[in-house]
Structure 1
């Protein structure tokens, strides 16, 4: 007699994403794994006394989304502090900071995360003068959504400016403007970092947010040293509702080597992922390393946040120790440098990754394909690709050369989609991939969904466990209330109705 299922998801439009146009009606789960996929009538026979049967109401069932580039602790900070990503103007951002100032204890830091001046139709960052107008008793810090720029009021500058890297502190004459970039911005984030207990609370808030958007797994870029411990504590307590790959920042390398950890170590919901490093900065901060100057800053080509020589040394150490390497590279010159370094080791099985690769040239894309380098990209960045967006300001006519998803896919590059938490919402990313401005930037619905499922699973060495709806794979699943194929022009408006991780329902929005 066939053993009964633990969970039966029925009355669904199941897209396995394993083969083109393959659909079914129901999925049976046992022991956290998918055991059958097929007709609802046939799978009904797997319903036993203790089986939980869920009627999906005709919704579209897909593999769970795997976000290949996240910062969940920082997302939690945004959710708990002032969320500046929803501000539609400079005035609204400052009002949100004032509300936060009224909510914290006197003298405590007032923090806001996620502002984007381009969403306000402006080009200037928040400044010291702006934040002084919040009139808080403690320091005020507003972090731009790319995490490469932070804005400080006078109190924050007085407290921290002497300890910040001087080259990252923007000045007019001798006076700091309140804008700090790159390593200086990172130092500010460190200065206001949460303690271990707060980190666990932030991760709980962030994972709820992620589950509600159909996210079943993340590749989290771990910079705070106790975040990985918080994840493992949550898993041990049974409170973790995501599958997590820990992509440790490069400054953790010595500790990782000392403890004997390597890529793919771990079991259950938490595993070690890649070693994450930078090479350049961001287009928003004009610090991405370009081969030609910025359109709105003639003579400036960005900067190396990690020099090519230092990157090569780091890569050699990490690769020799068994680590996959995930290198942040946005400008075309930075992307070229990373590819050259990766290519010096002829080992495509390592699945080394370029994070963002926003301005990769044709030659770079072809070299990535030849060497098996993964492009860990963020389709939601297409929101800046319009004729009057951030890319147009920074790059001029080169804006159409950014995030060429179609070109990458046609070349055979492995695509892994993530959000960089701008925002964390896979359906927003899929929407932008499908509705990108140019043919070279645009993917079909199935291609975009596969990049956010199987593609991200591949980037985490998990394609045999995750990424498609097939017997034997872990039961990480999502149900949508409408078909992305039916409304390609409005995918971001689709709602998630059910999220399943390892056979457990972690979000039920029905």
Structure 2
């Protein structure tokens, strides 16, 4: 049976003026005008779009579903504007959830007047003798109650341990695992379903789950793989391989799409665990953490490239980026650039990258999986980046335009629960970067959040992530007002922004414009929301 959607606005490079789209067996079969559609498909099931905007559905290139769901249904501390408010939210949650382990996420002291993280004593005062785990917004440090610390094996001897301050490195991984063990299967299942439901409600039809031993563990990943939901989950496993046989064994054992995602080379800037070449401005003498050195990175890349498996890393600090790019160069010398490009190796976050490195990554076909919300939240002259790095270094972070200009394929995601599952906000953030010259156009940002993210998942058929005849019918219908074809606000307008170019328009996403509202989400012809 053919479904014919009429009386709308369809975003398609094949038919920029299309008001109608026909779908059959999960595939786009036609686009055009309403009257021709009615004549060509007289027996179709007709859907009146009532002016709705039909666009390719989004793909989020970096998520953590269980943690996202636990934040959605549990204790979300991202709204706290002070230490006092954070502790009040914690105490209120503990009172209203007396039987559960307290799992919270999202505190960020960099924007608080106190500029002080919660301490162990602070948490104990709010929760009493209960296990409580509260991750910082970047999930690279956490505070834990005394009760949780007491049931965490080997905590006091682990790197990153402190009796009062937030735990980092292996100490954080240990306490997170202990907290995770306190969750029931029912809690985890409800959390994952809530996260996937939220994704579908935001016009997202696929997510890249970045799993790994330090994230949720193999049990969490196995449970997620068994979950039946309309949102497609593309899974990456963040564990280093020593040789090609080991790489193949890891993929066979986990069923992962690749050995990439959050395979940590370093940590995060907010927790001062990103690996820097010179110290943090607000922590003299500290250059962050190194979890994988250049030789370990090169060994993993060599193993995966020989096996034809996608490799990748979590990499943020400039020293970490330098190590990864140098290791990639060694692997390119061994196997050649085409072999490296065929594997679709990817780098998550890639915040501190320079022009020379961008040129090399572009030449090798390495994908940058990035999070524009990071700049929106922490960029600018008074943001967290400037606090940690000083204004000069901070201004170079998340350089989308630089990477795009050197041909680095971009894929956009949220790193949820670090930032929200909100793809239109992601597109807006990329087009309104707080550093002049680093933004990209709405069109390029939208592409990175749709077909670019499909490409990062290895789907390179040229049509997936667009609405053209022969493409999968994966789309969302939006309530949106005010359309335009625009370049970044700080760049020269080009021919593509002229109406005569027939480039399909997108919703206007200035700071004053409301974001589009999702009416329905469809993946391969099946309605998964609305």
What does residue 455 of structure 2 align with?
A: 458
What does residue 465 of structure 2 align with?
A: 467
Higher strand share: 1
In structure 2, do the counterparts of structure 1 residues 402 and 217 end up closer, same or farther at CA, with 3 Å as the change threshold? same
What does residue 440 of structure 2 align with?
A: 443
CA contact (8 A) 1:428 1:491 kept: no
**Residues 94-493 of structure 1 mapped to structure 2, 5 A cutoff:** 94-106=87-99, 108-160=100-152, 162-163=154-155, 166-170=158-162, 176-193=163-180, 194-223=183-212, 224-235=217-228, 240-250=229-239, 257-258=248-249, 261=252, 272-276=257-261, 277-343=263-329, 344-345=331-332, 346=336, 347-382=340-375, 383-396=377-390, 397-421=392-416, 422-464=419-461, 466-482=464-480, 483=483, 484-490=506-512, 493=515
In structure 2, do the counterparts of structure 1 residues 72 and 463 end up closer, same or farther at CA, with 3 Å as the change threshold? same
Shift of 1:260: 6.1
Shift of 1:42: 2.2
Shift of 1:161: 6.7
- Residue 9 (1) aligns with residue 5 (2): yes
Distance 2:513 2:205 in 1: 19
1:456-501 CA-partner distances (Å, limit 9, x unpaired) = 1111111325211112221111222214543433466332222111
**Residues 76-87 of structure 1 mapped to structure 2, 5 A cutoff:** 76-87=69-80
In structure 2, do the counterparts of structure 1 residues 478 and 255 end up closer, same or farther at CA, with 3 Å as the change threshold? farther
Shift of 1:431: 1.5
Q: Give unmatched runs, 5+ long, in structure 1.
A: 171-175, 266-270
1:330-386 CA-partner distances (Å, limit 9, x unpaired) = 011111211222232322111111111101012111111111111111101112111
Distance 1:229 1:196 in 2: 12
- Residue 30 (1) aligns with residue 24 (2): yes
1:200-225 CA-partner distances (Å, limit 9, x unpaired) = 32211101111111111111112331
In structure 2, do the counterparts of structure 1 residues 259 and 334 end up closer, same or farther at CA, with 3 Å as the change threshold? closer
Shift of 1:259: 7.2
- Residue 44 (1) aligns with residue 44 (2): no
Normalised TM-score (structure 2): 0.85
Moved more, 407-416 or 243-252: 243-252
Distance 2:277 2:23 in 1: 52
Shift of 1:165: 5.5
Alignment RMSD: 2.5
CA contact (8 A) 2:345 2:366 kept: yes
1:72-121 CA-partner distances (Å, limit 9, x unpaired) = 11101111221112333323322222232123344x42111122223435
1:102-156 CA-partner distances (Å, limit 9, x unpaired) = 23344x4211112222343553222212212213341121111211011112222
SS where residue 230 of structure 2 aligns?
A: coil
Distance 1:120 1:57 in 2: 45
CA contact (8 A) 1:152 1:178 kept: no
In structure 2, do the counterparts of structure 1 residues 232 and 137 end up closer, same or farther at CA, with 3 Å as the change threshold? same
In structure 2, do the counterparts of structure 1 residues 300 and 259 end up closer, same or farther at CA, with 3 Å as the change threshold? closer
In structure 2, do the counterparts of structure 1 residues 215 and 128 end up closer, same or farther at CA, with 3 Å as the change threshold? same
SS where residue 511 of structure 2 aligns?
A: helix
Distance 2:346 2:259 in 1: 9
Moved more, 29-38 or 350-359: 29-38
Q: Give unmatched runs, 5+ long, in structure 2.
A: 484-505
In structure 2, do the counterparts of structure 1 residues 490 and 367 end up closer, same or farther at CA, with 3 Å as the change threshold? farther
In structure 2, do the counterparts of structure 1 residues 487 and 279 end up closer, same or farther at CA, with 3 Å as the change threshold? closer
CA contact (8 A) 1:275 1:323 kept: no
Normalised TM-score (structure 1): 0.88
Moved more, 293-302 or 61-70: 293-302
In structure 2, do the counterparts of structure 1 residues 46 and 182 end up closer, same or farther at CA, with 3 Å as the change threshold? farther
In structure 2, do the counterparts of structure 1 residues 273 and 29 end up closer, same or farther at CA, with 3 Å as the change threshold? farther
In structure 2, do the counterparts of structure 1 residues 370 and 50 end up closer, same or farther at CA, with 3 Å as the change threshold? closer
SS where residue 363 of structure 2 aligns?
A: helix
CA contact (8 A) 1:141 1:150 kept: yes
Shift of 1:316: 2.4
CA contact (8 A) 1:353 1:374 kept: yes
CA contact (8 A) 1:148 1:282 kept: yes
Shift of 1:321: 2.6
In structure 2, do the counterparts of structure 1 residues 50 and 35 end up closer, same or farther at CA, with 3 Å as the change threshold? closer
SS where residue 51 of structure 2 aligns?
A: coil
CA contact (8 A) 2:102 2:131 kept: yes
Distance 2:252 2:40 in 1: 41
In structure 2, do the counterparts of structure 1 residues 177 and 495 end up closer, same or farther at CA, with 3 Å as the change threshold? same
CA contact (8 A) 2:295 2:327 kept: no
CA contact (8 A) 1:113 1:144 kept: yes
